[in-house]
């Protein structure tokens, strides 16, 4: 596969996630500020994301951390480090391990597995047998059916087709590189999945290699494999 290069200004968080329109896109002030501060998506992952989530959990009184509709048959581990806001729904059989923040109107469906360090934005969906770890789902992002979302960011109203896998670890376990401005950029991450800009989509059973960046409204068709930058 041939990696295409792109000017770095096109893969900032501000551009990928249209942060100038954050209010209209229901992106919280805290998340907007965090993404702007990090500048590039890979800088918002790993330990940086974990610290951001933990910091925001601590700002909420313990008795106000679980306000959403949580089935008694859901599994919550590390409960003191989980926030489920009013209006969110966690169905029976879902498994959530903190630290994790689930915002209003988000849905975590039966059989979903959230392994920790996950921020689920307003109205986002973590669906049946979808596994998420170390990731951000911006508002109304959907990982609805049989997906793997590891160390990734899903933009506003992005959608993963059933069976889409966002691979986050290279076969040789080396650091993930991005090609920008005709130069290789070391992300400093050995685990880095994919970034989907706002309204990007994948078809069923698509696979992204580590470090794939899909620009806003880009499409990866069913059964395709992506590497590097995916343009609209």
Annotated domain spans of the chain = 8-230
* Mean pLDDT calculated for residue range 11-33: 97
| Residue 199: predicted pLDDT | 99
pLDDT of amino acid 5: 61
- Whether residue 155 contacts residue 113, with contact meaning beta carbons closer than 8 Å, is answered with no
Across residues 85-96, what is the average pLDDT? Answer: 99
Assigned architecture for domain 8-230? 3 Solenoid (2.160)
Name residues whose C-beta falls within 8 Å of residue 180's C-beta, 6 or more positions apart in sequence. Answer: 5, 6, 7, 8, 11
Report which of 83, 79, 124, 119 is spatially closest to residue 97, judged by C-alpha positions: 79
- Nearby residues of 88 by Cβ (< 8 Å), 6 or more positions away: 68, 69, 102, 103, 104, 105, 106, 107, 108, 120
Q: Residue 109 in contact with residue 123, Cβ under 8 Å?
A: no
**Average pLDDT rounded to a whole number, residues 109-128:** 98
| Tens digits of residue pLDDT in 142-156 | 999 999 999 999 999
pTM recorded for the entire structure: 0.96
How much is the average pLDDT of 187-208? 99
What value does the mean pLDDT take over residues 170-189? 94
> Confidence band (pLDDT; 50, 70, 90) for 38?
very high
Say if residue 99 is preceded by a cis peptide, omega within 30 of 0. Answer: yes
Tell me which residue of 28, 29, 206, 210 sits closest to 102, measured CA to CA: 28
Q: Quick one: pLDDT band at residue 1, thresholds 50, 70, 90?
A: very low
Spatial contact of 230 and 213, defined as CB atoms under 8 Å apart: yes
pLDDT confidence tier of residue 162, bands split at 50, 70 and 90: very high
What's residue 59's pLDDT? Answer: 97
Segment 49-77 shows an average pLDDT of 98
* pLDDT exceeds cutoff 70 at 4: no
C-alpha span between 157 and 37 (Å, rounded): 22
């Amino acid at each position: 596969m041939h990696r295409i290069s792109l000017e770095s200004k096109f893969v900032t968080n501000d551009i990928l996630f249209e942060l100038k329109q954050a209010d209209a896109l229901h992106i919280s002030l805290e998340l907007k500020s965090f993404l702007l501060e990090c500048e590039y998506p890979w800088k918002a992952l790993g330990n940086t994301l974990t610290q951001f989530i933990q910091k925001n959990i601590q700002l909420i009184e313990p008795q106000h951390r679980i306000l959403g509709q949580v089935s008694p048959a859901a599994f919550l581990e590390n409960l003191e480090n989980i926030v489920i806001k009013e209006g969110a729904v966690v169905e029976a059989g879902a498994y959530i391990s903190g630290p994790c923040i689930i915002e209003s109107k988000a849905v975590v469906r039966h059989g979903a597995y959230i392994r920790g360090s996950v921020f689920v934005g307003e109205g986002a969906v973590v669906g049946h047998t979808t596994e998420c770890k170390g990731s951000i789902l911006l508002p109304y992002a959907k990982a609805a059916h049989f997906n793997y979302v590891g160390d990734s960011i899903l933009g506003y109203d992005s959608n993963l087709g059933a069976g889409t896998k966002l691979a986050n670890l290279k076969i040789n376990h080396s650091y993930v590189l991005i090609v920008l401005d005709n130069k290789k950029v070391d992300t400093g991450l050995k685990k880095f999945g994919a970034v989907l800009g706002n309204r990007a989509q994948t078809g069923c059973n698509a696979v992204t290699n580590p470090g794939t960046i899909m620009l806003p409204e880009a499409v990866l068709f069913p059964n395709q494999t992506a590497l590097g930058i995916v343009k609209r």
